[in-house]
Amino acid sequence: MKRNVLLLFLLFASALGFSQENAPDSLITVLSKSRNDIERADLLNAISDGYKSSDPAKMRDFATKSLDLSRKIKYRSAEGYALLNLGNSNIISGNYAKALEYFSLAQAVFENEIATDKDQKIKAGLAKAYGSIGIVFSEQSNYARALQYHLKAVPLYESLDERARLARVYNNIGIVYKALKNDFHALDYFTKAQKLQEKSGDATVGITTTNIGNIYLAQKNFPKALEYYDKAGKLFQKYPNPRGQGELYNALGDYNQQNKNGLKALENWNLALKAFASIEDKFGTADTYAFLAEYHQSTGNSAQALDFANKSLALAKELEIPEQVVIAEKMLSDIYSKTGNLNAALQHYQLYSVAKDSLNIHENIRKSVQAEMNYEFDKREALRKKESEKRELLFSEQTKRHAMQTFFIVLFVLLLFGIVFLIYNRLQLKKTLTLQRDLAEYEQKALHLQMNPHFVFNCLGSISSFIVQNGSDSAIKYLSKFSKLMRLTLEYSKESLIPIDKEIEGLQNYLELEQLRFNQIFDFSITKSSDIEDDMSLPPLLLQPFVENAIIHGLVPKKESGRIDITFAVSGDNFICTITDDGIGIERSRQMKEGSVSVHKSMALDITKKRLEMIKAFTSRKADVDITERADDNGNIIGTQVILSLPIQYSTSAQPVMAANKK
């Protein structure tokens, strides 16, 4: 279930205060007497925030009025806060796409005005925008982006010394880690949040306390879980909160169900439905439906289980919650299977598989999200600056036009304008070229980030195989070399280019690992031409997939001693890397793969080819690979040769490493 993520929203919805029921009414009275537009815009926002726990429709109505007024009078701070209130009202109603749109607009407003921030109100608004965007991403199971935005909010709140709101961010980060199955970090952040909230008397402390109870429940520490649930219940009596109370009822229902007290669990979940219905919280309702479906399925009441599972699935699809869709589809498949409706069971199991695969794909690409988001941010920032420069240029032109009194002054102004226009165009051209270059670099880094987890996965597979075959003593030596290789990989994981000597060092470590793994079945040599300068560089992990293929598909199937020779040389403006083996050759390897039970598709080679395409686009120079079979004078295949031709590139620093010859 996604019950922990459901506790996110209130933490930022309550950021403006005014949680008392009579606060909106008293502010409306003040609003009716106010004639100052700036004051009215702020009052409308405060009234909107005051309705967050009781009436989302009124919250949205007053926020819209504030947005219209603040835009009319160009009061950017109030505009940003109105957009935040509109986003929060849409979260309550379950419209996450619309909420994300409003939060992104608020982010743009605050980022655009941060330079003019005198009373730190803009910085506080920007922190709320980041945190709110993180909440939306969390509730849509996009945890990589959620963590990115929560961590953006942390330093802003620290600089503002906003301990109460910092506690809420800690809580949200804990929720992300809980969703990622990292209970240790989750409990650490929840505890940090709770300590800050208790010191400041924060009304949201009950939510954090419930989250801590959920951690202990997941660990089957039932006494500790109940201790924190009881404490949370008392806190909600002190600080009423329908959403938090509903989530506590859900957690208590789960607790009682696990402790074989089904009737008490059913009572808890029915109370949760009432709490969520009071604030039109579809997200919490979807989770409760799933609990009820699971309960009725366990008691053999298939009709009730089917009804609640379908309701949970419908809300999960409406709210675009992929994890909840996976849970509901699997539950429906199980229910239909038990009732003998095998066609429906198969249909929902297939839908479950599709939804689950979608979650796995999301996990595979989350490493590249940060580069993508950085590019989008830079792109938006460039557009904002461009609009600002245009406004300044128009204002300057108008001022000069009014100042013209004579023909010579007009001529001078026109000439000056022409020069400014020429410089402006040159700057814009330079900026465009820079953005295009940055785009290519980010795309190249994204491919590199895809390469890193694949490389680590293969290395871990090698370790597993080695330990099984050789035992613990040899494994210690193997792990020592593996740790050294991982340090090198992590050291350069963020670099676009690394010195050739460092690439040689990494290849040498990798080849030594593979020698240990395959019982010295092959020898190798690495040779660097004296023409290569110390600061010549190449992208990291570019050669490793070809070396791995030479070992796995060339030398290992040979069943006898083999050899790999790697050379680095310079030819004109190109850097030439040659990998030669005396294995079984390409054609025979392909035949063996076709005869294999499972055929492995080389993701690493596909990524490497895309990286070569990006290098070619990035440098506008030759970057390709040529893979051929080697044959003797009689036409017998004696191995494979891979030749990479790369443009010569340089890094800022390089340390020489001796070329390696290893047996």
CATH code of the domain in which 609 resides: 3.30.565.10
**Any domain includes 344:** yes
Give the domain CATH number at 316: 1.25.40.10
**Any domain includes 561:** yes
Q: Please name the residue that has the structure tokens 């009061």.
A: 75
Amino acid 369: pLDDT: 44
List the domain range (segments joined by +) for residue 294. Answer: 281-369
Name the DSSP letter for residue 260: T
CA nearest to 265, candidates 277, 243, 250:
250
**Any domain includes 168:** no
pLDDT tens digits, one per residue of 419-473 = 888 887 787 777 666 655 654 554 555 444 444 555 566 666 666 666 666 666 6
Amino acid 658: pLDDT: 40
Nearest 5°: phi and psi at 650? -125, 145
Q: Domain boundary residue among 160, 192, 226?
A: 160
> What DSSP letter does each residue of 347-399 carry, written as one string?
HHHHHHHHHHHHHHHHHHHGGGHHHHHHHHHHHHHHHHHHHHHHHHHHHHHHH
Is the pLDDT at 476 greater than 90? The verdict is no
**Any domain includes 537:** yes
Whether residues 477 and 591 share a domain: the answer is yes
Q: Domain boundary residue among 160, 175, 201?
A: 160
User: 498: which residues sit within 8 A by CB, 6+ positions away?
Assistant: 492, 537, 538, 539, 540, 651
**Any domain includes 646:** yes
Amino acid 461: pLDDT: 64
Q: Domain boundary residue among 343, 369, 395?
A: 369
Whether residues 460 and 326 share a domain: the answer is no
Whether residues 516 and 617 share a domain: the answer is yes
Question: What token pair was written down for 577?
Answer: 């890397």
CA distance linking residue 352 with residue 358, whole number of Å: 10
Whether residues 363 and 477 share a domain: the answer is no
CA distance linking residue 419 with residue 443, whole number of Å: 36
Residue 181, sorted as left (phi over 0), alpha (psi -120 to 50) or beta, turns out to be left
Whether residues 491 and 583 share a domain: the answer is yes
Is the pLDDT at 57 greater than 90? The verdict is no
Whether residues 497 and 640 share a domain: the answer is yes
pLDDT tens digits, one per residue of 299-349 = 888 888 899 889 988 988 888 788 888 888 888 888 888 888 888 888 888
Whether residues 16 and 97 share a domain: the answer is yes
Q: How far is CA 473 from CA 221, 458, 466, 477, 516, in A?
A: 37, 21, 11, 7, 12
3-state secondary structure (DSSP) of residue 300: coil
CA distance linking residue 292 with residue 314, whole number of Å: 15
Which burial class, exposed, middle or buried, applies to 118 when counting CB atoms under 10 A from its CB (0-12, 13-18, 19+)?
A: exposed
Helices (H), 567-645: 586-594, 603-619
Q: Please name the residue that has the structure tokens 């109870």.
A: 213
Is-contact 63 85, C-beta < 8 A? yes
Tally the C-alpha atoms within 13 A of residue 16's C-alpha that lie toward its C-beta.
Answer: 26
Is the pLDDT at 129 greater than 90? The verdict is yes
Is-contact 342 402, C-beta < 8 A? no
Q: Please name the residue that has the structure tokens 């520490």.
A: 221
3-state secondary structure (DSSP) of residue 31: helix
User: Quick one: angle between helices 76-92 and 121-139, nearest 10?
Assistant: 20
Whether residues 445 and 365 share a domain: the answer is no
Whether residues 510 and 616 share a domain: the answer is yes
Whether residues 358 and 458 share a domain: the answer is no
pLDDT tens digits, one per residue of 79-112 = 999 999 999 998 888 788 899 999 999 999 999 9
Whether residues 359 and 486 share a domain: the answer is no
Q: Mean pLDDT throughout 600-629?
A: 79
pLDDT tens digits, one per residue of 130-154 = 999 999 888 777 888 898 999 999 9
CA distance linking residue 622 with residue 648, whole number of Å: 10
**Any domain includes 60:** yes
**Any domain includes 475:** yes
**Any domain includes 418:** no
3-state secondary structure (DSSP) of residue 112: helix
Angle in degrees, CA 334, 336, 341, rounded to 5:
140
Whether residues 502 and 639 share a domain: the answer is yes
Question: What token pair was written down for 632?
Answer: 């003797």
Q: Mean pLDDT throughout 533-548?
A: 87
User: 390: which residues sit within 8 A by CB, 6+ positions away?
Assistant: none
pLDDT tens digits, one per residue of 585-596 = 888 888 887 766
User: 612: which residues sit within 8 A by CB, 6+ positions away?
Assistant: 623, 624, 625, 644
- Structural domain count, the chain: 3
More confident residue, 643 or 391: 643
pLDDT tens digits, one per residue of 2-28 = 444 335 534 343 333 333 444 688 888
